[in-house]
Chains A and B, each alone.
Chain A
Amino acid sequence: MTSRVVIIGAGHAGGRAALLLRSKGFEGEITLLGKEEFPPYERPPLSKELLIGIKQIEECFLVESNEWKDKGISLHLNDPADSVALDKKIVITNNQKSFAYDKLVFATGGQCRKAIFPGVHLSHVFDLRDIVDSNDIQRHLFPNQRVVVVGGGFIGLEVAAAAIQQGCQVSVVEMGERLLSRVFPPSVSTVIQDFHESKGVNFYLSDSISKVHGIESVGSVLLDSGKEIGADVVIVGIGLIPGTDLAENAGLLVDSGIVCNEFCQASNADVYAIGDCAKAFNHRSNQYLRLESWQNAEHQAEVSASHIMGESKAWDSVPWFWTDQYEMNIQLAGDMDLSSNFAVRGKNIEQGLIFFSVVDDRLCGAVSIAPGMKLAKELRVAQMLIEKDIKVSLDELNDPELRLKSLLKR
């Protein structure tokens, strides 16, 4: 019988798993161990609303701070887990506290991939993972600051948008020949680059930072191409390294993520892994996936909490992701197959555009780009078309007269 659940990592996934266990009727002890000083919070606002000051830290919290105590969830902040003994079923923290468990959940997230160029240790060089990072960056975004963003991925582009909104002069350096080239087809990359350029962002593609110059703080960056850009702030967004060290040291199977089955169970049946750190078997797509998204934190928290409560609900989500840049909302459902043809609906970016990727008469991915939530409904229908494995063709999807939702009734 399960009477003690310990969750390592008090981020979004870990916090949600604790809350779900309670809402599902779990009456035993729940211990949540976190390395940060803040209670569990959602990360999407860190690179958006928090940077432009339209949201406060407290608004990112999963629940009000007092609710952890009210729900009988024992929250230990500033005290990360240090080691796990799978044989004794015990977790030891940095402060040498030990916690025995019946079921253990790893929700250890990850750390920013560190840049290695000379000058990376100068002050005013930042990366962005947690609230403290976001606050540090926010203080440096003000009119006429020269901001260089390293990495034209989602975090980099969100930070670039926020910096423009704060009146900064913004450059983005991306080593790929186009933006977001691993997830989006060229036509989508072009649309995104165009609207950033129209807001004033300068892009340096197929280029990298070779050096950051400065005395104490940043003064300029030198690129591999030989160009030099004046800079007051450098913000690095080049990806995440999953937090797997603790699991690996404990003897769990790790392969660029903590390897789990479709119930988010790791290679030890009493141990689960969820969120950014987990590489779990996705039942629908029949493959192991490690995803870094808000949705994944939510869904895998649900899968693990359900399984601990004795239900068998396999992880079968269609990946879904959104990013906000200026007034534009971009959403991705599934995966775009970059080698196949695409259908496009919509005439221009003001009305919104939605791109569909079809393989073997099935939709495998869709991307919407639109002001605000204009196309959220359509993208959601696309996600359901993937979920339900409904037959579609590129011709149908290209037909502007077709009501997308009608396909769901097939």
Chain B
Amino acid sequence: MSDATSNWHLVGPAGDIDEEDVMRFDLEDRTFAIYNTEEGFFATDGYCTHEDQHLADGLVIDTVIECPLHQGRFDIPTGKAKSAPVCIDLKTYPVEIRDGMIYLQA
């Protein structure tokens, strides 16, 4: 969900995130979760929508991220909440890989 004020930011080397895994990325006072999945790289808000918890500590299974605190699940590409206790969707952000580096638009 980019808007007119969003810019592209360098996250780091794509090789830093194992396949089927997630990494935390902080940008000033915001935090994001950057994913490497079988369907490619994605980015969402970094905190679970249920309670403040870094999703980057959670487990990625296929294209689903599970919050480590209560095991609430979100679909990574769409940010959609998939199972209780989470019911509010995550915001998603565009990600691109250029020359092996990850860029995030936020």
Contacts and interface: CB of A to CB of B under 8 A. Distances in A.
A179 to B, nearest CB: 24
For chain B, the bracket of interface size reads: 10 to 19
Nearest to A301: B84
A298 B59 contact: no
Contact of A373 (B61, B68, B71, B85): B68
Contacts of A302: 84
Contacts of B68: 373, 376-377, 380
B70 interface: yes
A79 B62 CA distance: 46
B58 interface: yes
Interface residues of A, number: 20
A20 interface: yes
Contacts of A295: 71
B48 to A, nearest CB: 11
Chain B residues touching A, majority SS: loop
B84 A16 contact: yes
Contacts of A376: 57-59, 68-69
A405 B58 CA distance: 13
A380 B84 contact: no
B59 A20 contact: no
A381 interface: yes
A286 to B, nearest CB: 23
Mostly, the A contact residues are: helix
A61 B98 CA distance: 45
B57 A377 contact: yes
A376 B84 CA distance: 18
Interface string B52-95: 01100111010000101111000000000000110100000000
Interface string A377-410: 1001100100000000000000000000100000
Interface string A293-308: 0110010011000000
A41 interface: no
Given A373-B53, A373-B57, A380 B85 contact: no
Contact of A377 (B58, B70, B85): B58
A204 interface: no
Contacts of A384: 61
A223 to B, nearest CB: 37
Q: Which of A374, A377, A384 has the most CB of B within 10 A?
A: A377
24 contacts: A16-B84, A16-B85, A23-B87, A62-B85, A294-B70, A298-B84, A301-B84, A320-B71, A373-B53, A373-B54, A373-B57, A376-B57, A376-B58, A376-B68, A376-B69, A377-B57, A377-B68, A380-B58, A380-B66, A380-B68, A380-B71, A381-B59, A384-B61, A405-B20
Interface of A: 16, 19-20, 23, 62, 294-295, 298, 301-302, 320, 372-374, 376-377, 380-381, 384, 405
